[in-house]
Amino acid sequence: MFKLAGLVVPSLALLAAVRALPPVILEVISDEDNADNFNVLHHLAGDSPYFNSPGVGLTVDVPDGCSVTRATYLFRHTDIFANDFEYENQLAPFLYKLGNFTDRAAFAEGNSPLAFLANWTSPISDPENQIEEVTDSGKRDAQKLGGVIAQRHQALLANSTGEFKFWVSDADRDLDTAHAFVQGFDGKLDNATLVIVEEGEEQGANSLTPHESCPNWDTAVGTPPMKNFLQTYAPAVAARLDGLAAPNFNWTSDDVFAAQSLCGYDTVIRGTESPFCGLFTESEWLAWEYANDLMYHRSMGYGSAIAPTLGIPWLTASARLLTGQANSTSSNSSADTQSLFISFTHREEPPFIVTALGVLNETNATMPEDAINYERAWRTSFILPFLANIALERLDCNATALGANSTSTAFVRALVNAAPLPLPGCSSGPGGSCELQSFSDYIGERAKLFGDFVDVCGIANETNATSTLGIYEGDFPANGAAVETESVTINGTIDTNATNTSVDGTGAAVKLPARAAAGTILAVTLAMAFML
């Protein structure tokens, strides 16, 4: 551990608890329709606390004369301390530099906006046990959003028979998210079963983390475009910060990017808005957001030829479930026993699915690396905040919704973080929805367009190679060896005492080492529209 002039910079050997503080409520309702109200928490790309996306103006309300009769959801995990790549390559170097700066009192000279750095301490006190792990505020956020989904789909829950299942990748952050999320179903369900899917490299597409099974996909391709754009805006920001106070600190472009990244992580760890959030101007935040958009666009979005292929398996599985064509013969199939299918995964999957769906489309040509495209549709703050979710809802509608000339009564609509987004060329149904058979055809054509998962990923000779996601229908990877189940009692309580529960190889619950408490509570106030 380095401790210089009061600043703690953690080492991997440090074991410490974070000081507990009183609860603080932060509102993160989307207010993007108010151009005069800039909320930095809505411009933090993958580091944003959850908020409902603004969408294209369509309401999340179920159209008059329609009801949701089936729905599939894929959620990103909730708030974490930081991911390992960002910590090791961005945050830790900045924290180390700050910790070794011997004239920290200079930050406070002249009532500088940098004055907080004179006494600021890192919120990541124990990286070995905190990195990639869920914060206490993240657990509360997950529970709240679970309650919203349970309220929205209580009719689907009432129609379920037998054990109600949730599907989750086996990473700690996904399991912790699922454990907290299901507690939001208190009063709607008494218990649930978590189907825990291993995220190894030999599951093919039959996984909630298909990128792990695709060696031809490379997340690193997004870094050079981000770095290129960083040099177009960050040097001027570094010069501005040097001019405020403590010029001997010598801010660099990498320091600027790390400090901006700390806005999100410091906020979701402590539960109060970080002072780093107020250090930068609106234009500087929009530049940082665009740098992240470039990175995700090139690696997980339309700038990647492989990205949509990785999103297709979940879409085709969802299409089978929504159209009633899913296999229900397996004893482990849930196709006929429940109508709501909820899964938990990592940050990569929502952009893959958005790209496979064809919504929020931008090409490389419209995402230049030397200037911001302010009119772009691709904004990762709206696609993959913590708890990002992609939903597909089947709507069954009556004459009130359809009018006299319609021959179809079933439709599907896609929602990204509670914002309905029309599918290109298939949006003539109620609320911009797509007729059910046309939706199935649309997904089939997209699958043909992007190629077979096994072929594109180059895994034809791998064990368990498959292009089909079959876990909802009881077709488990590795003949079931890569799947475990856990029974969860739903009583409305969540664990915020820094103890995680996982599952051993026999399916029995086991306790993992305690983690440091996360500080204050970040309670998410969700838009009421999501509950209608």
The residue length of the chain stands at 532
- The Cα-based distances of 302 to 3, 46, 318 in angstroms read 44, 17, 21
Q: Give me 259's structure tokens.
A: 């400090």
CA distance 531 to 508: 35
CA distance 1 to 37: 41
- The Cα-based distances of 18 to 122, 126, 127, 259, 419 in angstroms read 10, 9, 12, 20, 36
pLDDT for position 464: 87
> What is the 3 state secondary structure string of 98-131?
HHCCCCHHHHHHHHCCCHHHHCCCCCCCCHHHHC
Give me the tens of pLDDT residue by residue for the chain, a chain 532 residues long: 333 333 333 333 332 332 222 333 333 323 344 446 899 999 999 999 999 999 999 999 999 999 999 999 999 999 999 999 999 999 999 999 999 999 999 999 989 999 999 999 999 999 999 999 999 999 999 999 999 999 999 999 999 998 999 999 999 999 999 999 999 999 999 999 999 999 988 899 999 999 999 999 999 999 999 999 999 999 999 999 999 999 999 999 999 999 999 999 999 999 999 999 999 999 999 999 999 999 999 999 999 999 999 999 999 999 999 999 999 999 999 999 999 999 999 999 999 999 999 999 999 999 999 999 999 999 999 999 999 999 999 999 998 778 766 778 999 999 999 999 999 999 999 999 999 999 999 999 999 999 999 999 999 999 889 999 999 999 998 888 889 999 999 999 998 743 333 222 222 222 222 222 232 223 333 433 343 3
Provide the whole-model pTM. Answer: 0.88
Helices 92-99 and 253-270, axial angle in degrees (round to 10): 100
pLDDT for position 426: 97
CA distance 466 to 203: 8
Q: What is the pLDDT of residues 116-140, one digit of tens each?
A: 999 999 999 999 999 999 999 999 9
Residue type, position 397, single letter: C
Q: What is the pLDDT of residues 257-288, one digit of tens each?
A: 999 999 999 999 999 999 999 999 999 999 99
E-assigned strands of 353-505? 389-397, 410-416, 419-421, 434-435, 483-489, 501-503
Structural domains in the chain, CATH included, are: 46-489 (3.40.50.1240)
H helices then E strands: how many in the chain? 15, 15
CA distance 486 to 493: 17
